[in-house]
Amino acid sequence: MTETMQNQKTADVLQAVYKNVKMASDSILNIMPKVKDEQLKSDLTVLLSAFDAFASRTAKELAKEGVTPEEEGFMSKTRAKWGTMMNTMRDSTSSHLAEMMVEGATMGVNDLLRVLREAENSKASEASMRLARDVCAFEEKIVEDMRAYLR
């Protein structure tokens, strides 16, 4: 595999991680106005900070590869925001908001596991693979932690 192909695989992994953590940040920001439980609000604020740190770390790794981070498109962000709004209109209890976080984190884990499997034999940089695994583990912990709010 040529160095250019390896660099592209690394960039692909990092772009997937970046989109994942930015989507998570956006989702938390969309949910926050609906949160009434102070502990859940505090927990989500910590998660938001962590996702922002992952985004910054990923952007730095992308810069090392000479690549600009790709944001989700306007339509995709708008659909997610409307979906959250519609979903919380019916039910904005802490339990339901936590369930939404569990669903989002589970989708994030599944997406990153797919990316990791595809990149396993591609010679993507170890740093990019480690970052993807770190985000995956973080999102798995979110699933565990949010279960405390489920009723």
Residue 2 has pLDDT above 80, yes or no: no
Which homologous superfamily is 3-146 in?
A: Ferritin, core subunit, four-helix bundle (1.20.1260.10)
DSSP letter string over 63-99? HHTT-PPPPPPHHHHHHHHHHHHHHHHH---HHHHHH
Residue 3 pLDDT > 80: no
Higher pLDDT, 43 or 82: 43
Q: Where are the domains of the chain?
A: 3-146
Residue 111 has pLDDT above 70, yes or no: yes
Mention every residue, 6+ apart, whose C-beta is less than 8 A from residue 72: 19, 22, 23, 26, 80
What would the pLDDT profile of 69-95 be if each residue is shown by its tens digit? Answer: 988 788 887 887 787 888 788 888 999
Percent of the chain with pLDDT over 90: 72
The predicted model scores a pTM of 0.90
